Amino acid sequence: MKLENLLYEKFGYAAFRAGQKEIIQDLLSGKNVVAMLPTGGGKSVCYQIPGYIMDGLVIVVSPLLSLMEDQVNQLRLIGEKRVAAFNSFRTMEEKKEVLRNIEAYKFIFASPEMLQSPFFLQALKRVKVSLFVVDEAHCISQWGFDFRPDYQKLQHAVRQLGNPAVLALTATATKKILQDIIDSLGLSDTALHFHSIDRPNIAIQVEGIDTLEEKKMRLLSYVKELQGPGIIYCSSRFWSEALAEGLRAEGVEGVSHYHGGMEQEERMLIQQQFINNQLRVISCTSAFGMGINKSNVRYVIHFHYPANIESYLQEIGRAGRDGKDSIAVLLLSGADHDLPVSIIQDELPDQKRVAYFFSLLKKSLLQRDTISFADAEYIGIAAGLHEQHWRFIRYQLEELGAVQDGCILVSALSSEIQQIINDKVLDRLNNKYEKLQAMRNWLQTLTCRREAFLRLFHDKKQKQPKNCCDICGIDVTDYKQIQKEKSMPVYEWKTELQLLLGMKRRWDYE
């Protein structure tokens, strides 16, 4: 009763959505919660309501700066002023100001990297933290082992902040990933809220194609025929641009590309235009998607397939959030199989480079007594390590206790440690190759793709959809654009003029 009142008072909603109330009650009763909720299912309510009831501060860990800014703005819109994002968008003065008045805040958003900063943690220790939220918690499992190791270190932050209740939220997780999250955060007394990941309104199609030319033609005909808006996923920046350009050259309007190599401003603009229906098609790498709250995406086409089935689930899951019929098409040709292997190989340092790095470290240690992380990173670059490789090695050294006060200890140079690191690299590679193999096996499935797919997530088909998968049979015409020459709407003269001059596009009004 009290919870509903608060919900209405703060958010204007009359009733909770599925799962929200149970999550809130578990948190209030002192449990940790790991929950999978569909996107747009009101994740923020799950921590904001308990936040208002509990007397201390709420920390929200978020993977992307733009997500943080978004959430801060949304809170401000409902009148909450005691909120701040603590990240590199802020100047040093602004950050100091926030920390000086830390008592005045209710919600602080931060990246996992920020939560490793002693400067930040010390200030947080002055106040009571009552809730620690990890948003998009699958990142712990997806990124934490090598790409962003600070995701694996969140449990240290939780402990330092006096073990507040932890809420881990995600929209896409297998049971294995949920377990990874629990293990990594070191949670006990945890309530699991798991919902089926089956999305019966998304038809799944895999299409074998012989040549690259043919694949481009298939893509073009899909983009021309399917009802939009749609997303095209590629595995390289190059192809995301090339496909967008190719489609435009063929007369497709409202196409843009998106990848991590673009300027932040441009990325935000394109994302916004897509959400506001000013763009019809986005050709992109995996950089696009997280935090995209768009309900009416009608198709997702994979021009290249991702290296694991979890990413595939995430990517096709961006279609049909409104529950309406949508389709996921994967275009597969023999030449596609080498790319994910190469990408995986690049993710971790090979033995030769590790050995070279340690030999350089040894040499350097003869000249001075200690090696700071900054020096070691520099040495790493000289040894041909990528930034990501260096961070992986650093994380392993930290775990092995071979570092102290931001410096590498002499003990790190033992051949034993080098061996352990090489073993860890092999572990991770094997793990990634296994996931890739699972993805490939699924591509070869001869039985219902949805069933095979759900099995990998320990899940089951709820009921047989009319359009299930290419093996059960899909009527693609169901997803084609309705020809509406007759019903072309007529707007008032101002709008028609804008349409004529290309200032607006017709689908802005549909």
Q: Should residue 342 be labelled a site residue for DNA when binding is judged by CB under 7 A?
A: yes
Among 18, 104, 212, 268, binds DNA (CB under 7 A): 212
Nearer CB in complex with DNA: 23/397:
397
Among 103, 387, 434, 478, binds DNA (CB under 7 A): 387
HSE of 172, CA atoms in CB hemisphere, 13 A: 17
**Cα 254 to Cα 502: distance, rounded to the nearest angstrom:** 11
Q: Should residue 285 be labelled a site residue for DNA when binding is judged by CB under 7 A?
A: yes
Locate 490 and state its tokens: 């007529």
Nearest approach, Cβ of 321 to DNA (angstroms)? 20
**Cα 354 to Cα 425: distance, rounded to the nearest angstrom:** 10
Locate 446 and state its tokens: 């001869």
Q: Should residue 346 be labelled a site residue for DNA when binding is judged by CB under 7 A?
A: yes
Locate 138 and state its tokens: 């699958």
**Contact code string over 214-253 relative to DNA, x by CB under 7 A:** ---------------------xxxx---------------
Among 127, 220, 343, 409, binds DNA (CB under 7 A): 343
Among 44, 71, 141, 142, binds DNA (CB under 7 A): 142
Nearer CB in complex with DNA: 265/492:
265
Backbone angles phi, psi at 190, to 5 degrees: -105, 130
Among 11, 52, 105, 143, binds DNA (CB under 7 A): 143
Q: Should residue 498 be labelled a site residue for DNA when binding is judged by CB under 7 A?
A: no
Q: Should residue 147 be labelled a site residue for DNA when binding is judged by CB under 7 A?
A: yes
Q: Should residue 8 be labelled a site residue for DNA when binding is judged by CB under 7 A?
A: no
Q: Which of 435, 453, 442 is nearest to 196 (CA)?
A: 453
Stretch that binds DNA, among 5-13, 138-146, 222-230, 442-450 (CB under 7 A): 138-146
Among 14, 92, 366, 482, binds DNA (CB under 7 A): 92
Site for DNA in 96-125 (CB under 7 A): 110-111, 113-114, 117-120, 122-123
The terminus-to-terminus CA distance of the chain in angstroms comes to 40
Burial 11-35 (b: 16+ CB within 10 A, else e): eeeeebeebbbebbebbeeebbbbb
To 10 degrees, the CA torsion angle through 384, 385, 387, 388?
Answer: 150
Nearest approach, Cβ of 143 to DNA (angstroms)? 6
Site for DNA in 11-70 (CB under 7 A): 63-66
**Cα 281 to Cα 250: distance, rounded to the nearest angstrom:** 14
Nearest approach, Cβ of 333 to DNA (angstroms)? 9
Please enumerate in sequence order all residues whose Cβ is within 8 A of that of 379, keeping only pairs 6 or more positions apart, or say none: 357, 360, 361, 364, 371
Q: Where are the beta strands (DSSP E) in 353-397?
A: 371-372
Q: Should residue 473 be labelled a site residue for DNA when binding is judged by CB under 7 A?
A: no
Nearer CB in complex with DNA: 338/485:
338
Q: Which amino acid is at 330?
A: L
Q: Should residue 433 be labelled a site residue for DNA when binding is judged by CB under 7 A?
A: no
Q: What distances in angstroms separate CA 308 from CA 138, 142, 342, 343, 373, one per listed residue?
A: 14, 10, 14, 12, 32
Q: Should residue 292 be labelled a site residue for DNA when binding is judged by CB under 7 A?
A: no
Nearer CB in complex with DNA: 91/367:
91
Please state the separation of Cα 257 from the chain's center in Å: 18
**Contact code string over 260-279 relative to DNA, x by CB under 7 A:** xx------------------
Stretch that binds DNA, among 50-58, 192-200, 221-229, 256-264 (CB under 7 A): 256-264
Size of the site for DNA (CB under 7 A): 47
**Cα 369 to Cα 115: distance, rounded to the nearest angstrom:** 30
**Cα 89 to Cα 390: distance, rounded to the nearest angstrom:** 25
Binding site for DNA (CB under 7 A): 63-66, 87-89, 92, 95, 110-111, 113-114, 117-120, 122-123, 142-143, 146-148, 212, 235-238, 259-261, 285-287, 307, 335, 338-339, 342-344, 346-347, 387-388, 391
